[in-house]
Amino acid sequence: MADQSTGLLRVLGRGDVLALSFGAMIGFGWIVLTGEFIDAAGPGGAALAFVIGGAIMAFVGLIYSELVSALPYAGGEHHYALRAIGPKGALVASWAMVLGYVSVVAFEAVAVPETLVYLFPDMGAGHLWTIAEYDVQASLVAVGVVTAVSMAAVNYVGIRPASVLQIVAVLFLLGIGAMMVTGSFVGGSAENMEPLFTGGASGLFVVLVAVPFLFVGFDVIPQSASEIKVPYRLAGGLLVVSVFCATAWYVMVMLTAGAGLSPAELLDSELASADSVAAVWDSRTMGNLLVLGGIAGLLTSWNAFLIGGSRLLFAMGRSGMVPAWFGRLHPRYRTPSNAILFIGVLSVLAPLFGDPMLVWLSNAGAFNIVIAYLSVIACFLVLRRREPGMERPFRVPAGTPAGIVAFVLAFGLFLLYLPGMPAALSWPEEWPMVLVWWIAGLFLILRLPRVRAGAGAEDRLLQALRARRSSPRP
Protein backbone atom coordinates (compact mmCIF):
# COMPACT_ATOMS: atom_id res chain seq x y z
CA MET A 1 0.00 0.00 0.00
CA ALA A 2 1.40 3.40 -0.98
CA ASP A 3 1.15 6.61 0.99
CA GLN A 4 -1.14 8.88 -1.02
CA SER A 5 0.77 12.09 -0.29
CA THR A 6 4.26 10.83 -1.16
CA GLY A 7 3.93 7.56 -3.10
CA LEU A 8 6.21 5.79 -0.61
CA LEU A 9 5.19 2.23 0.31
CA ARG A 10 3.73 1.55 3.76
CA VAL A 11 5.40 -1.76 4.61
CA LEU A 12 7.16 -1.31 7.98
CA GLY A 13 5.57 -3.27 10.83
CA ARG A 14 6.29 -3.23 14.57
CA GLY A 15 9.40 -5.36 14.37
CA ASP A 16 10.71 -3.35 11.42
CA VAL A 17 10.23 -0.05 13.25
CA LEU A 18 11.91 -1.23 16.45
CA ALA A 19 14.81 -2.84 14.55
CA LEU A 20 15.26 0.30 12.47
CA SER A 21 15.44 2.61 15.49
CA PHE A 22 17.43 0.36 17.84
CA GLY A 23 19.83 -0.71 15.10
CA ALA A 24 20.46 2.91 14.16
CA MET A 25 21.65 3.68 17.69
CA ILE A 26 23.93 0.64 17.97
CA GLY A 27 26.72 1.49 15.60
CA PHE A 28 30.40 0.87 16.29
CA GLY A 29 31.30 3.21 19.14
CA TRP A 30 30.53 0.51 21.71
CA ILE A 31 33.55 -1.44 20.44
CA VAL A 32 36.21 1.22 19.83
CA LEU A 33 35.38 3.79 22.54
CA THR A 34 34.75 1.49 25.50
CA GLY A 35 38.33 1.64 26.75
CA GLU A 36 38.37 5.45 26.75
CA PHE A 37 35.03 5.64 28.52
CA ILE A 38 36.01 3.20 31.28
CA ASP A 39 39.41 4.85 31.71
CA ALA A 40 37.71 8.22 32.17
CA ALA A 41 34.84 7.24 34.46
CA GLY A 42 35.35 3.61 35.52
CA PRO A 43 32.94 0.79 34.53
CA GLY A 44 30.25 2.01 36.94
CA GLY A 45 30.81 5.66 36.03
CA ALA A 46 30.60 4.94 32.30
CA ALA A 47 27.42 2.93 32.84
CA LEU A 48 25.97 5.77 34.95
CA ALA A 49 26.83 8.30 32.25
CA PHE A 50 24.89 6.24 29.73
CA VAL A 51 21.92 6.07 32.08
CA ILE A 52 22.02 9.88 32.35
CA GLY A 53 22.52 10.25 28.60
CA GLY A 54 19.74 7.77 27.93
CA ALA A 55 17.40 9.77 30.19
CA ILE A 56 18.21 12.93 28.23
CA MET A 57 17.56 11.16 24.95
CA ALA A 58 14.35 9.67 26.36
CA PHE A 59 13.03 13.17 27.02
CA VAL A 60 13.91 14.17 23.46
CA GLY A 61 12.41 10.90 22.23
CA LEU A 62 9.13 11.66 23.99
CA ILE A 63 8.96 14.96 22.12
CA TYR A 64 9.51 13.18 18.82
CA SER A 65 6.92 10.54 19.73
CA GLU A 66 4.15 13.10 20.08
CA LEU A 67 5.14 14.93 16.92
CA VAL A 68 5.43 11.81 14.75
CA SER A 69 1.94 10.73 15.82
CA ALA A 70 0.50 14.18 15.11
CA LEU A 71 2.38 14.83 11.85
CA PRO A 72 3.22 11.40 10.36
CA TYR A 73 5.00 12.52 7.21
CA ALA A 74 8.29 11.46 5.65
CA GLY A 75 10.91 13.98 6.63
CA GLY A 76 10.07 14.23 10.33
CA GLU A 77 11.46 17.47 11.75
CA HIS A 78 11.10 19.14 8.36
CA HIS A 79 7.31 19.03 8.69
CA TYR A 80 7.27 19.81 12.41
CA ALA A 81 9.23 23.01 11.82
CA LEU A 82 7.15 23.99 8.79
CA ARG A 83 4.04 23.80 10.93
CA ALA A 84 5.52 25.51 13.98
CA ILE A 85 8.06 28.11 12.82
CA GLY A 86 7.85 28.29 9.03
CA PRO A 87 10.10 27.42 6.08
CA LYS A 88 13.28 29.16 7.21
CA GLY A 89 13.18 27.46 10.59
CA ALA A 90 12.34 24.18 8.87
CA LEU A 91 15.40 24.50 6.69
CA VAL A 92 17.61 25.11 9.74
CA ALA A 93 16.28 22.01 11.52
CA SER A 94 16.42 19.85 8.40
CA TRP A 95 19.84 21.05 7.26
CA ALA A 96 21.34 20.36 10.67
CA MET A 97 19.93 16.83 10.76
CA VAL A 98 21.00 16.07 7.18
CA LEU A 99 24.62 16.75 8.14
CA GLY A 100 24.16 14.53 11.19
CA TYR A 101 22.83 11.69 9.06
CA VAL A 102 25.40 12.09 6.30
CA SER A 103 28.21 12.17 8.87
CA VAL A 104 27.07 8.84 10.33
CA VAL A 105 26.81 7.21 6.90
CA ALA A 106 30.27 8.48 5.95
CA PHE A 107 31.59 7.36 9.35
CA GLU A 108 30.44 3.81 8.67
CA ALA A 109 32.08 3.80 5.23
CA VAL A 110 35.41 4.52 6.91
CA ALA A 111 34.84 2.28 9.94
CA VAL A 112 34.01 -0.96 8.07
CA PRO A 113 37.44 -1.42 6.45
CA GLU A 114 39.18 -0.21 9.60
CA THR A 115 37.32 -2.89 11.56
CA LEU A 116 38.27 -5.64 9.15
CA VAL A 117 41.94 -4.88 9.82
CA TYR A 118 41.39 -6.38 13.29
CA LEU A 119 40.39 -9.67 11.66
CA PHE A 120 42.88 -9.46 8.79
CA PRO A 121 45.91 -7.47 9.99
CA ASP A 122 47.77 -7.76 6.67
CA MET A 123 44.96 -6.54 4.43
CA GLY A 124 46.31 -2.98 4.21
CA ALA A 125 48.17 -2.49 0.91
CA GLY A 126 48.83 0.18 -1.70
CA HIS A 127 49.77 3.43 0.01
CA LEU A 128 47.86 6.35 -1.53
CA TRP A 129 48.62 9.38 0.65
CA THR A 130 48.97 10.51 4.25
CA ILE A 131 46.36 12.55 6.14
CA ALA A 132 46.98 13.70 9.72
CA GLU A 133 49.89 11.23 9.96
CA TYR A 134 47.64 8.37 8.84
CA ASP A 135 48.57 6.35 5.74
CA VAL A 136 45.55 5.82 3.52
CA GLN A 137 45.72 2.36 1.93
CA ALA A 138 44.15 1.55 -1.45
CA SER A 139 42.87 -1.83 -0.27
CA LEU A 140 40.97 -0.30 2.66
CA VAL A 141 39.55 2.43 0.43
CA ALA A 142 38.36 -0.25 -2.00
CA VAL A 143 36.54 -2.15 0.78
CA GLY A 144 34.86 1.03 1.98
CA VAL A 145 33.81 2.03 -1.54
CA VAL A 146 32.41 -1.42 -2.41
CA THR A 147 30.45 -1.55 0.85
CA ALA A 148 29.11 1.97 0.30
CA VAL A 149 27.93 1.08 -3.20
CA SER A 150 26.30 -2.13 -1.91
CA MET A 151 24.43 -0.34 0.90
CA ALA A 152 23.17 2.32 -1.49
CA ALA A 153 22.06 -0.36 -3.94
CA VAL A 154 20.05 -2.25 -1.28
CA ASN A 155 18.23 0.95 -0.33
CA TYR A 156 17.77 2.00 -3.94
CA VAL A 157 15.75 -1.11 -4.84
CA GLY A 158 13.26 -0.79 -1.98
CA ILE A 159 12.48 -0.25 1.69
CA ARG A 160 11.61 -3.93 2.15
CA PRO A 161 15.10 -5.32 1.32
CA ALA A 162 16.61 -2.64 3.55
CA SER A 163 14.25 -3.61 6.37
CA VAL A 164 15.08 -7.32 6.05
CA LEU A 165 18.80 -6.48 6.22
CA GLN A 166 18.12 -4.44 9.36
CA ILE A 167 16.23 -7.21 11.17
CA VAL A 168 18.83 -9.89 10.38
CA ALA A 169 21.70 -7.69 11.56
CA VAL A 170 19.88 -6.68 14.76
CA LEU A 171 19.13 -10.32 15.63
CA PHE A 172 22.82 -11.11 15.21
CA LEU A 173 23.67 -8.16 17.47
CA LEU A 174 21.34 -9.47 20.17
CA GLY A 175 23.12 -12.82 20.00
CA ILE A 176 26.43 -11.02 20.51
CA GLY A 177 24.97 -9.24 23.52
CA ALA A 178 23.95 -12.55 25.06
CA MET A 179 27.47 -13.84 24.48
CA MET A 180 28.96 -10.81 26.29
CA VAL A 181 26.69 -11.16 29.31
CA THR A 182 27.30 -14.92 29.58
CA GLY A 183 31.04 -14.44 29.20
CA SER A 184 31.17 -11.86 31.99
CA PHE A 185 29.71 -14.46 34.38
CA VAL A 186 31.86 -17.31 33.04
CA GLY A 187 35.27 -15.63 32.97
CA GLY A 188 34.79 -12.08 34.25
CA SER A 189 36.26 -10.73 37.45
CA ALA A 190 34.90 -8.17 39.91
CA GLU A 191 38.51 -7.14 40.61
CA ASN A 192 38.87 -5.87 37.05
CA MET A 193 35.97 -3.48 37.70
CA GLU A 194 37.70 -1.75 40.61
CA PRO A 195 37.40 1.11 41.11
CA LEU A 196 33.85 1.29 39.75
CA PHE A 197 33.91 5.09 39.62
CA THR A 198 36.85 7.29 38.62
CA GLY A 199 37.35 10.77 37.24
CA GLY A 200 34.41 12.42 39.02
CA ALA A 201 32.23 14.81 37.05
CA SER A 202 34.85 15.36 34.34
CA GLY A 203 34.94 11.61 33.72
CA LEU A 204 31.18 11.54 33.29
CA PHE A 205 31.41 14.44 30.81
CA VAL A 206 33.87 12.48 28.64
CA VAL A 207 31.14 9.89 28.12
CA LEU A 208 28.21 12.32 27.99
CA VAL A 209 29.66 14.33 25.10
CA ALA A 210 29.52 11.19 22.96
CA VAL A 211 25.84 10.60 23.73
CA PRO A 212 24.33 12.60 20.81
CA PHE A 213 26.40 10.67 18.27
CA LEU A 214 25.94 7.26 19.92
CA PHE A 215 22.20 7.65 20.50
CA VAL A 216 21.19 9.37 17.30
CA GLY A 217 18.89 7.03 15.43
CA PHE A 218 15.52 6.99 17.19
CA ASP A 219 14.67 9.99 15.00
CA VAL A 220 14.85 7.74 11.94
CA ILE A 221 11.28 6.63 12.79
CA PRO A 222 9.85 10.11 12.05
CA GLN A 223 11.83 10.26 8.80
CA SER A 224 10.22 7.05 7.55
CA ALA A 225 6.73 7.81 8.93
CA SER A 226 5.14 7.55 5.48
CA GLU A 227 6.38 3.95 5.23
CA ILE A 228 5.09 2.77 8.63
CA LYS A 229 1.88 0.71 8.66
CA VAL A 230 1.37 0.49 12.44
CA PRO A 231 -0.84 2.96 14.37
CA TYR A 232 1.05 6.18 14.97
CA ARG A 233 0.42 6.09 18.69
CA LEU A 234 2.23 2.75 18.74
CA ALA A 235 5.03 4.12 16.56
CA GLY A 236 5.60 6.86 19.12
CA GLY A 237 5.74 4.30 21.90
CA LEU A 238 8.19 2.13 19.97
CA LEU A 239 10.46 5.15 19.56
CA VAL A 240 10.75 5.58 23.33
CA VAL A 241 11.18 1.83 23.85
CA SER A 242 14.08 1.82 21.39
CA VAL A 243 15.85 4.53 23.42
CA PHE A 244 15.56 2.43 26.59
CA CYS A 245 16.84 -0.62 24.69
CA ALA A 246 19.87 1.32 23.44
CA THR A 247 20.56 2.60 26.96
CA ALA A 248 20.45 -0.97 28.30
CA TRP A 249 22.84 -2.06 25.53
CA TYR A 250 25.46 0.58 26.31
CA VAL A 251 25.24 -0.05 30.06
CA MET A 252 25.66 -3.78 29.41
CA VAL A 253 28.74 -3.17 27.25
CA MET A 254 30.44 -0.98 29.88
CA LEU A 255 29.88 -3.49 32.67
CA THR A 256 30.75 -6.65 30.74
CA ALA A 257 33.87 -5.11 29.18
CA GLY A 258 34.93 -3.87 32.61
CA ALA A 259 34.61 -7.38 34.00
CA GLY A 260 36.92 -8.83 31.33
CA LEU A 261 39.96 -6.55 31.46
CA SER A 262 41.35 -3.88 33.73
CA PRO A 263 40.87 -0.21 32.74
CA ALA A 264 44.53 0.05 31.70
CA GLU A 265 44.26 -3.02 29.45
CA LEU A 266 41.05 -1.74 27.89
CA LEU A 267 42.63 1.65 27.18
CA ASP A 268 45.60 0.00 25.44
CA SER A 269 43.29 -2.05 23.22
CA GLU A 270 42.25 -0.82 19.78
CA LEU A 271 38.97 -2.75 20.03
CA ALA A 272 38.39 -2.92 23.77
CA SER A 273 35.10 -4.83 23.80
CA ALA A 274 36.47 -7.50 21.48
CA ASP A 275 39.60 -8.03 23.55
CA SER A 276 37.51 -8.20 26.72
CA VAL A 277 35.27 -10.91 25.26
CA ALA A 278 38.34 -12.82 24.08
CA ALA A 279 39.69 -12.64 27.65
CA VAL A 280 36.54 -13.83 29.45
CA TRP A 281 36.07 -16.73 27.05
CA ASP A 282 39.85 -17.31 26.72
CA SER A 283 39.28 -17.52 22.98
CA ARG A 284 40.42 -15.22 20.20
CA THR A 285 37.63 -16.69 18.06
CA MET A 286 35.02 -15.26 20.43
CA GLY A 287 36.69 -11.87 20.19
CA ASN A 288 36.58 -12.10 16.41
CA LEU A 289 32.92 -13.04 16.60
CA LEU A 290 32.26 -9.87 18.56
CA VAL A 291 34.03 -7.87 15.84
CA LEU A 292 31.57 -9.36 13.39
CA GLY A 293 28.88 -8.08 15.75
CA GLY A 294 30.50 -4.68 15.47
CA ILE A 295 30.30 -4.88 11.70
CA ALA A 296 26.62 -5.82 12.07
CA GLY A 297 26.19 -2.70 14.21
CA LEU A 298 27.89 -0.64 11.52
CA LEU A 299 25.53 -1.99 8.89
CA THR A 300 22.38 -1.42 10.98
CA SER A 301 23.40 2.15 11.70
CA TRP A 302 24.48 2.77 8.11
CA ASN A 303 21.27 1.31 6.71
CA ALA A 304 19.02 3.28 9.07
CA PHE A 305 20.68 6.61 8.42
CA LEU A 306 20.69 6.08 4.70
CA ILE A 307 16.94 5.56 5.01
CA GLY A 308 16.48 8.56 7.30
CA GLY A 309 18.76 10.95 5.45
CA SER A 310 17.30 10.14 2.04
CA ARG A 311 13.72 10.63 3.30
CA LEU A 312 14.64 13.98 4.82
CA LEU A 313 16.27 15.19 1.59
CA PHE A 314 13.24 13.82 -0.29
CA ALA A 315 10.90 15.92 1.86
CA MET A 316 13.07 19.02 1.40
CA GLY A 317 13.07 18.46 -2.35
CA ARG A 318 9.28 18.09 -2.39
CA SER A 319 8.86 21.40 -0.56
CA GLY A 320 11.30 23.29 -2.80
CA MET A 321 13.97 23.91 -0.15
CA VAL A 322 16.58 21.99 -2.12
CA PRO A 323 16.54 21.17 -5.86
CA ALA A 324 13.47 19.19 -6.93
CA TRP A 325 15.83 16.45 -8.12
CA PHE A 326 16.03 15.24 -4.51
CA GLY A 327 12.24 14.92 -4.31
CA ARG A 328 11.84 12.45 -7.16
CA LEU A 329 10.52 8.97 -6.44
CA HIS A 330 11.71 5.94 -8.40
CA PRO A 331 8.76 4.83 -10.57
CA ARG A 332 9.34 1.13 -9.94
CA TYR A 333 10.95 0.81 -6.51
CA ARG A 334 9.03 3.69 -4.87
CA THR A 335 12.16 4.93 -3.12
CA PRO A 336 13.70 8.44 -3.07
CA SER A 337 16.37 7.15 -5.42
CA ASN A 338 18.11 10.43 -6.20
CA ALA A 339 18.51 11.31 -2.52
CA ILE A 340 19.90 7.81 -1.91
CA LEU A 341 22.38 8.25 -4.75
CA PHE A 342 23.53 11.61 -3.37
CA ILE A 343 24.24 10.24 0.11
CA GLY A 344 25.77 7.14 -1.46
CA VAL A 345 28.26 9.25 -3.42
CA LEU A 346 29.30 11.12 -0.27
CA SER A 347 29.84 7.83 1.55
CA VAL A 348 31.97 6.57 -1.34
CA LEU A 349 34.27 9.59 -0.93
CA ALA A 350 34.70 9.24 2.85
CA PRO A 351 37.17 6.27 2.82
CA LEU A 352 39.60 8.39 0.81
CA PHE A 353 40.31 10.37 4.00
CA GLY A 354 41.06 7.33 6.17
CA ASP A 355 40.87 6.86 9.93
CA PRO A 356 41.22 10.55 10.99
CA MET A 357 37.86 11.17 9.33
CA LEU A 358 36.14 9.08 12.02
CA VAL A 359 36.67 11.60 14.82
CA TRP A 360 35.99 14.62 12.59
CA LEU A 361 32.72 13.19 11.35
CA SER A 362 31.46 12.08 14.76
CA ASN A 363 32.09 15.46 16.41
CA ALA A 364 30.84 17.66 13.57
CA GLY A 365 27.81 15.42 13.12
CA ALA A 366 26.96 15.30 16.84
CA PHE A 367 27.07 19.10 17.11
CA ASN A 368 24.54 19.46 14.31
CA ILE A 369 22.35 16.67 15.65
CA VAL A 370 21.97 18.60 18.91
CA ILE A 371 21.01 21.73 16.92
CA ALA A 372 18.29 19.69 15.20
CA TYR A 373 17.06 18.33 18.54
CA LEU A 374 16.80 21.84 19.97
CA SER A 375 14.84 22.94 16.90
CA VAL A 376 12.39 20.04 17.23
CA ILE A 377 11.83 20.67 20.94
CA ALA A 378 11.17 24.35 20.18
CA CYS A 379 8.61 23.26 17.56
CA PHE A 380 6.95 21.01 20.15
CA LEU A 381 6.61 23.88 22.61
CA VAL A 382 5.29 26.26 19.96
CA LEU A 383 2.66 23.77 18.76
CA ARG A 384 1.58 22.94 22.31
CA ARG A 385 0.91 26.64 22.89
CA ARG A 386 -0.46 27.64 19.48
CA GLU A 387 -2.42 24.51 18.56
CA PRO A 388 -3.52 22.83 21.80
CA GLY A 389 -6.38 21.11 20.01
CA MET A 390 -4.19 19.42 17.38
CA GLU A 391 -4.86 15.69 17.19
CA ARG A 392 -2.05 13.91 19.02
CA PRO A 393 -2.54 10.10 19.13
CA PHE A 394 0.55 9.88 21.37
CA ARG A 395 0.48 12.68 23.94
CA VAL A 396 3.39 13.44 26.26
CA PRO A 397 2.24 13.70 29.89
CA ALA A 398 2.93 17.15 31.37
CA GLY A 399 3.73 18.26 27.84
CA THR A 400 5.05 21.80 28.23
CA PRO A 401 7.09 21.13 31.40
CA ALA A 402 8.50 17.98 29.77
CA GLY A 403 9.40 20.01 26.68
CA ILE A 404 11.17 22.64 28.78
CA VAL A 405 13.17 19.96 30.61
CA ALA A 406 14.12 18.35 27.28
CA PHE A 407 15.23 21.73 25.89
CA VAL A 408 17.38 22.54 28.94
CA LEU A 409 19.03 19.10 28.85
CA ALA A 410 19.69 19.27 25.10
CA PHE A 411 21.03 22.82 25.44
CA GLY A 412 23.43 21.55 28.07
CA LEU A 413 24.77 19.06 25.53
CA PHE A 414 25.05 21.85 22.94
CA LEU A 415 27.26 23.93 25.25
CA LEU A 416 29.76 21.08 25.57
CA TYR A 417 30.81 21.52 21.91
CA LEU A 418 31.65 25.23 22.13
CA PRO A 419 35.25 26.55 22.43
CA GLY A 420 36.75 25.97 25.86
CA MET A 421 34.36 23.12 26.68
CA PRO A 422 35.22 19.38 26.96
CA ALA A 423 33.95 18.46 23.51
CA ALA A 424 34.93 21.67 21.69
CA LEU A 425 35.16 21.15 17.94
CA SER A 426 38.70 21.23 16.59
CA TRP A 427 40.33 23.55 14.12
CA PRO A 428 41.22 23.18 11.24
CA GLU A 429 39.29 19.91 10.83
CA GLU A 430 35.84 19.98 12.41
CA TRP A 431 34.86 23.66 12.51
CA PRO A 432 35.55 24.13 8.75
CA MET A 433 33.26 21.14 7.99
CA VAL A 434 30.50 22.75 10.02
CA LEU A 435 31.09 26.25 8.63
CA VAL A 436 31.12 25.14 4.98
CA TRP A 437 27.91 23.20 5.53
CA TRP A 438 26.17 26.17 7.11
CA ILE A 439 27.40 28.65 4.51
CA ALA A 440 25.64 26.47 1.94
CA GLY A 441 22.64 26.29 4.28
CA LEU A 442 22.56 30.08 4.64
CA PHE A 443 22.42 30.40 0.86
CA LEU A 444 19.39 28.10 0.82
CA ILE A 445 17.73 29.97 3.67
CA LEU A 446 18.14 33.39 2.01
CA ARG A 447 16.52 32.21 -1.20
CA LEU A 448 13.32 31.14 0.57
CA PRO A 449 10.36 33.53 0.41
CA ARG A 450 8.61 34.68 3.58
CA VAL A 451 5.76 32.28 4.28
CA ARG A 452 3.47 32.04 7.29
CA ALA A 453 3.88 28.99 9.52
CA GLY A 454 0.98 26.72 10.42
CA ALA A 455 -1.16 24.15 8.64
CA GLY A 456 -0.66 24.33 4.88
CA ALA A 457 2.76 26.02 5.17
CA GLU A 458 4.29 23.67 2.60
CA ASP A 459 1.57 24.45 0.03
CA ARG A 460 2.01 28.17 0.61
CA LEU A 461 5.76 27.82 0.19
CA LEU A 462 5.41 25.94 -3.10
CA GLN A 463 2.95 28.55 -4.39
CA ALA A 464 5.33 31.37 -3.45
CA LEU A 465 8.24 29.62 -5.18
CA ARG A 466 6.17 29.03 -8.33
CA ALA A 467 5.02 32.64 -8.33
CA ARG A 468 8.63 33.82 -8.01
CA ARG A 469 9.75 31.65 -10.92
CA SER A 470 6.88 32.79 -13.16
CA SER A 471 7.16 36.50 -12.41
CA PRO A 472 9.05 38.53 -15.05
CA ARG A 473 12.51 39.63 -14.07
CA PRO A 474 13.37 43.34 -14.30
Separation between Cα atoms, residue 234 and residue 227, nearest integer Å: 14
The answer as to whether 464 is a domain residue is no
The answer as to whether 238 is a domain residue is yes
The answer as to whether 7 is a domain residue is no
Quickly state the pLDDT bin for 48 (edges 50, 70, 90).
Answer: very high
In degrees to the nearest 10, what's the CA dihedral of 40, 41, 47, 50? Answer: -70
The answer as to whether 463 is a domain residue is no
Q: Which domain holds residue 378?
A: 14-458
Average pLDDT of every residue of the chain: 86
For residue 197, give every residue at least 6 positions away whose Cβ sits within 8 Å of its Cβ, in sequence order, or none: 41, 42, 44, 45, 48, 203
How confident is the model over 416-450, as pLDDT tens digits? 788 887 667 788 778 888 898 999 999 999 888 88
Q: Is 356 a residue whose pLDDT tops 90?
A: no
Quickly state the pLDDT bin for 343 (edges 50, 70, 90).
Answer: very high
Separation between Cα atoms, residue 6 and residue 468, nearest integer Å: 24
How confident is the model over 311-321, as pLDDT tens digits? 999 999 999 99
As for how many domains the chain has, the answer is: 1
CATH code of residue 326: 1.20.1740.10
How confident is the model over 268-320, as pLDDT tens digits? 887 788 889 999 998 989 988 988 888 888 888 888 888 888 999 999 999 99
Angle at alpha carbon of residue 54, lines to 210 and 33, rounded to 5°: 30
The answer as to whether 418 is a domain residue is yes
For residue 263, give every residue at least 6 positions away whose Cβ sits within 8 Å of its Cβ, in sequence order, or none: 35, 38, 39, 42, 43, 198
The answer as to whether 4 is a domain residue is no
The answer as to whether 8 is a domain residue is no
The answer as to whether 205 is a domain residue is yes
**Residue of 168, 174, 211 whose CA lies nearest to 46:** 211
Quickly state the pLDDT bin for 415 (edges 50, 70, 90).
Answer: confident
Single pTM value for the model: 0.87
Query: What local confidence, expressed as pLDDT, does residue 5 receive?
Result: 60
**Residue of 383, 60, 379, 1 whose CA lies nearest to 226:** 1
